[in-house]
Amino acid sequence: MRSSLPASWHDNGRMRIRVVRAGELEVLRDIERAAGMPEIADDEPLPVAVLEQYRRAGRAWVAADDADVPCAYLLADVVDAHPHVEQVSVHPRCARHGVGRRLLDSVPGVLTLTTFARVPWNRPYYERCGFVVLADEELTPALREIRAREAAHGLDRWPRVCMRRGA
């Protein structure tokens, strides 16, 4: 099922965070394509089968507008017994309304992620959301493994950091 987002979006206070529904997986792929960084735009969004695994595991959420159309999403893995942001994407039409922050705030407790260190809408954004950069000696073996996979995928063409929010 292919779905398109509305031509415009306004946060009128009725936006809500909810779990992803099975019929919305292509919408997530559309959001990711629209939100992608030009330097890595050749990377295809996660396949529907992978998104379905996140959905079935209860680790996929969307921010939906007042028409219940998703405009952003968050996927989380479990790393070191805590949620780890695998992906958070906000469609450009919905950006700059606090949608990504609301998604992040909907995940309770300790939360980790990896991100680009020098991209203005990455590390500085997450710092404004309460995340702190972890020093190399603070990285757990699981976080080191994530960083190694990212490097193998070529993401280290740009400096990256691990970050954590919460105790």
Q: How does pLDDT run across 123-138, given as a tens digit for each residue? A: 999 999 999 999 999 9
Q: For position 97, which CATH number holds?
A: 3.40.630.30
pLDDT for 148 equals 92
Average pLDDT estimate for 46-66: 95
User: Is there a domain that residue 7 lies in?
Assistant: no
Which of 96, 87, 116, 111 lies closest to 25, judged by CA? Answer: 87
User: Is there a domain that residue 51 lies in?
Assistant: yes
Query: Residue 89 is part of which domain span?
Result: 16-165
pLDDT over 70 at 31, yes or no: yes
User: Is there a domain that residue 4 lies in?
Assistant: no
User: Is there a domain that residue 124 lies in?
Assistant: yes
User: Is there a domain that residue 108 lies in?
Assistant: yes
Residue in the block written with tokens 């922050």? 101
User: Is there a domain that residue 105 lies in?
Assistant: yes
